[in-house]
Chain A
Amino acid sequence: MYRIVEAQRYNPQVKRLTVEAPRVARRARPGQFVMVRVDERGERIPLTIADSDAASGCVTVIFQEVGCSTAMLGALEAGDTIADVVGPLGVPSHLEGLGRVCVVGGGLGCAIAYPQAKALFGMGAHVDIVAGFRSASLIFLEEEMRAVSHKLTVCTDDGSNGCKGLVTDILKAALEETVYDAVIAIGPLVMMKFVCLTTKPYAVPTIVSMNPIMVDGTGMCGCCRVTVGGEVKFACVDGPDFDGHLVDFDEAMRRNTIYRTQEQRSLQEHICRGEERLHAQ
């Protein structure tokens, strides 16, 4: 059992948990992830490591509640326990040699991009961050991102924070002004796809972090396969970072819908069961 030492809710869908997992914390590097199983009947869900501290033996995950399992995880508070935390999994991000980088985060992707930005900033790189959210009420990690960047632009789809626009608009303007060694884009697949289309004419290497469906996270199930440059890769052991200009995003988007019907049903059942419990109390 893995004990939660800290829990913080950022918005109705996004939560942060810091969990005791000393072996994982000791080795975790930016770009890696853990597989989490909430309880005995739970599924194994991949979550990016948002932060880790070898000294305290803790790892932090930030996740969005989309299905039953993440909703159950979201219901946990400090002092509760998680059945299983396995990791760190995946290849750490290759950040060496990058002097000038633009990090683009979309929604929850900001949490996944944050450790990369933090590591790069710590290594002395020039880091600009473009963070996109749907509206002002959903913004999180703003101060943390500001602290690890030279320039932070937070935009929203509806302009409710005063900066209306898509991350690709901001990025395009930045690419006109600055020559970056790399763009690191993490967010919904469709956002990553359009970031890659935006950077392509500028020939800026663009790294994306894929988050496909996984069962084991160690290269065994093969369901996380992603086509990169015409070759089939397993995101869990070959990634999750890939050259975005080579990723077949349309296939990845299609594969991510495999269990959508089952997910929605299980979430609905979970909500119903929760309501039953409330009525029973």
Chain B
Amino acid sequence: MLNKSTTKTPMPEQEPALRARNFEEVAFGYTQAQAKREAERCLRCKNKPCVSGCPVGVDIPSFVGSLAEGDTAAAADVIRRANALPAVCGRVCPQETQCEQFCVRGRNGEPVAIGRLERYTADWAMEYGEDESPTDPNGVRVAVVGSGPAGLTCAGALARLGCAVTVFEAFHKPGGVLVYGIPEFRLPKAIVAREIAQLEARGVAIETNCVVGRTVTVDELLTEGYRAVFVGSGAGLPTFMGIPGENLNGVYSANEFLTRVNLMRAFEKGAQTPIQPVRRVAVVGGGNVAMDAARCALRLGAELVSIVYRRGEQEMPARAEEIHHAREEGIAFHLLVNPVSLVGDEQGWVREIVCVEMELSEPDESGRRRPVPKEGSRVTLPVDAVVMAIGSSPNPLIRQTTPDLAANRWGCLVADETTGRTAKRGVYAGGDAVTGAATVILAMGAGQAAARAIYEDVTSGRI
């Protein structure tokens, strides 16, 4: 039976005023009845336009169809074949610009809530589904550098093909950006831990506390008996603006701020990693990371949190839903302003952020209208903390210790986009380490493509 509603079945979520002061998940997820009702909106198009918008190629009409029939187990099976981290993707994928953008129902009303349905299915599978058993080993050892979305996906896909995969992680906990970057209220760490546990059950080994490029090099991994190395080390090097006052006390990179809060759990009583108590915070940037940092600051007890962004809301790279959630929670938006300096007090603590007003001119190479400063304008905000969330680039440790691995002028590794192959034999790369900071699902797509190429190269004797 087709559900003819032109709008998505709403997903219940915590009240903004309440959730702005806790770290619990914002959205509660669908019940089975809600999921079934939403799944019934799917037209089951023969040509499956939604699938073309999914970087990992989940057979969306098939899993949604199973949900409409009330068979969640079958839906979970379909998703699992293509997606190693469905509970993660169901929460943090920018569905509106991927699968859902191509949904035929979206032409006249809202598209099918594919992301919410994926989340429902994955959560159900975690609760009731069975872990997949390991594939028979084929004797091929592969090393994966980094346990973020790219690395985990690559590892999962290779393990399913029978490879013995070891994932090397620099931090003490696997998950990469999923654990240090994305906050608990958007992606509970227990969900990430469970998805990783499923990969381990499938035979993936994870070695934490190993910094490839320092503890061990890519070349050493190749001589240690790994036939291939996939580098999915992400883009973890923070960018600063280079403006006066940026080294004042109270000025954080988004990485530092989010790592203290998310990975080191500075928000919990008893955690030993300190975080400075903040009253008025400015977060510079307009992406998801900026929204995450702003919303974390609010939850840590800040009275006034502002987003400072040099373009307008239309140009913000953050997901519409995240901007909407941030607004609901009371984050102030200062748009079309750009910081030019930070001013401190006598003790060296940041006290004021000085900005110029901007206006938009012609679109630049990113397709967004280029911001230019308005002569003589000046806007100042009083602050006691500033978080710089203006992007990041790949960490240099691997390219510094692997001289024959090529990188471009932004420090991104050079690799074939569709296979992850680099010019160095046996070495593959993908995710943010290649593209610069992007999304979880694009990194996963790259990890999956590299896994296919590695398997192909191993079985054809190319490596």
Residues of A within 8 A of B (CB): 23-24, 27, 37, 41-44, 68-69, 83-89, 215-216, 218-223, 225, 227, 232, 237, 251, 254-255, 257-259, 262-263, 266
Residues of B within 8 A of A (CB): 170-172, 180, 208-211, 214-216, 236-238, 240, 242, 246-247, 249-250, 252-253, 255-256, 259-260, 264-265, 270-276, 347-348, 395-397
Q: Which of A221, A257, A262 contacts B274 (CB 8 A)?
A: A262
Residues of A within 8 A of B172 (CB): 37, 44, 83-84, 86
Q: Which of B211, B242, B249 contacts A258 (CB 8 A)?
A: B249
Asked if A262 meets B276 with Cβ closer than 8 Å, knowing A37-B172, A221-B238, A227-B247, the reply is yes
- Bound complex: CA A42 to CA B173 (Å): 13
Contacts A44-B273, A262-B274 known; 4 new A-B pairs at CB < 8 A = A43-B273, A220-B255, A220-B259, A257-B249
Q: Which of A68, A87, A258 contacts B214 (CB 8 A)?
A: A87
Does the CB pair B274–A43 fall under 8 Å? yes
Q: 9 closest pairs, A vs B, by CB?
A: A262-B274, A221-B256, A222-B253, A43-B273, A254-B348, A220-B236, A222-B238, A84-B172, A43-B272
Residues of B within 8 A of A255 (CB): 247, 249, 348
- Bound complex: CA A232 to CA B259 (Å): 21
Q: List 20 A-B contacts (CB under 8 A).
A: A23-B215, A41-B271, A41-B272, A43-B272, A43-B273, A85-B209, A86-B209, A86-B210, A86-B211, A87-B211, A215-B264, A215-B273, A218-B214, A220-B237, A221-B238, A232-B246, A232-B247, A237-B396, A262-B274, A262-B275
- Bound complex: CA A258 to CA B208 (Å): 29
Residues of B within 8 A of A37 (CB): 172
Residues of A within 8 A of B171 (CB): 216
- Bound complex: CA A27 to CA B217 (Å): 10
- Bound complex: CA A258 to CA B273 (Å): 13
Min CB distance A156 to B, Å, is 32
Residues of A within 8 A of B242 (CB): 232
- Bound complex: CA A120 to CA B111 (Å): 69
Asked if A42 meets B396 with Cβ closer than 8 Å, knowing A215-B259, A223-B256, the reply is no
Does the CB pair A223–B252 fall under 8 Å? yes
- Bound complex: CA A43 to CA B273 (Å): 5
Q: Smallest CB-CB separation from B400: which chain A residue?
A: A237
- Bound complex: CA A205 to CA B272 (Å): 39
Does the CB pair B270–A89 fall under 8 Å? no
Does the CB pair A216–B170 fall under 8 Å? yes
Q: Which of A86, A215, A254 contacts B215 (CB 8 A)?
A: A86
Does the CB pair A223–B253 fall under 8 Å? yes
Q: Which of A42, A88, A254, A259 contacts B276 (CB 8 A)?
A: A259
Residues of B within 8 A of A222 (CB): 238, 240, 253, 255-256
- Bound complex: CA A266 to CA B271 (Å): 10
- Bound complex: CA A269 to CA B242 (Å): 39
- Bound complex: CA A220 to CA B274 (Å): 17
Min CB distance A22 to B, Å, is 10
- Bound complex: CA A68 to CA B208 (Å): 24
- Bound complex: CA A215 to CA B172 (Å): 12
Residues of B within 8 A of A216 (CB): 170-171, 259
Residues of A within 8 A of B274 (CB): 43, 259, 262-263, 266
Residues of A within 8 A of B237 (CB): 219-220
Min CB distance B238 to A, Å, is 4
- Bound complex: CA A20 to CA B129 (Å): 40
Residues of B within 8 A of A218 (CB): 170, 211, 214, 236, 395, 397
Does the CB pair A215–B276 fall under 8 Å? no
- Bound complex: CA A262 to CA B396 (Å): 32
Residues of A within 8 A of B209 (CB): 84-86
Q: Smallest CB-CB separation from A257: which chain B residue?
A: B249
Does the CB pair A88–B215 fall under 8 Å? yes
Residues of B within 8 A of A237 (CB): 395-397
Residues of B within 8 A of A23 (CB): 210, 215-216
Min CB distance B264 to A, Å, is 6
Does the CB pair B256–A88 fall under 8 Å? no
Q: Smallest CB-CB separation from A38: which chain B residue?
A: B272
In this complex, the member of B265, B273, B396 whose beta carbon has the largest number of chain A beta carbons within 10 angstroms is B273
Q: Smallest CB-CB separation from B169: which chain A residue?
A: A86
- Bound complex: CA A87 to CA B209 (Å): 8
Q: Smallest CB-CB separation from A85: which chain B residue?
A: B209
Q: Smallest CB-CB separation from B392: which chain A residue?
A: A220
Residues of B within 8 A of A42 (CB): 272
Asked if A24 meets B256 with Cβ closer than 8 Å, knowing A41-B272, A69-B272, A222-B238, the reply is no
Min CB distance B217 to A, Å, is 9
Asked if A27 meets B249 with Cβ closer than 8 Å, knowing A215-B260, A220-B237, the reply is no
Asked if A232 meets B256 with Cβ closer than 8 Å, knowing A86-B211, A87-B214, A255-B247, the reply is no
Residues of A within 8 A of B216 (CB): 23, 27
Asked if A215 meets B247 with Cβ closer than 8 Å, knowing A87-B215, A237-B397, the reply is no
Does the CB pair A220–B247 fall under 8 Å? no
Min CB distance B272 to A, Å, is 4
Does the CB pair A221–B247 fall under 8 Å? no
Min CB distance B226 to A, Å, is 15
Residues of B within 8 A of A258 (CB): 249-250, 276
- Bound complex: CA A41 to CA B272 (Å): 6
- Bound complex: CA A215 to CA B253 (Å): 12
Q: Smallest CB-CB separation from A226: which chain B residue?
A: B247
Q: Smallest CB-CB separation from A42: which chain B residue?
A: B272
Residues of B within 8 A of A215 (CB): 256, 259-260, 264, 273
Residues of A within 8 A of B238 (CB): 220-222
Residues of A within 8 A of B210 (CB): 23, 86
Min CB distance B372 to A, Å, is 26
Q: Which of A41, A89, A220, A262 contacts B395 (CB 8 A)?
A: A220
Residues of A within 8 A of B180 (CB): 220
Does the CB pair B215–A27 fall under 8 Å? yes
In this complex, the member of B208, B272, B348 whose beta carbon has the largest number of chain A beta carbons within 10 angstroms is B272
Asked if A89 meets B214 with Cβ closer than 8 Å, knowing A220-B259, A254-B348, A263-B274, the reply is yes
Min CB distance A72 to B, Å, is 8
Residues of A within 8 A of B270 (CB): 41
- Bound complex: CA A69 to CA B270 (Å): 12
- Bound complex: CA A220 to CA B275 (Å): 17
Min CB distance A32 to B, Å, is 8
Residues of A within 8 A of B256 (CB): 215, 221-223
Q: Which of B211, B255, B272 contacts A221 (CB 8 A)?
A: B255
Does the CB pair B240–A266 fall under 8 Å? no
Residues of B within 8 A of A85 (CB): 209
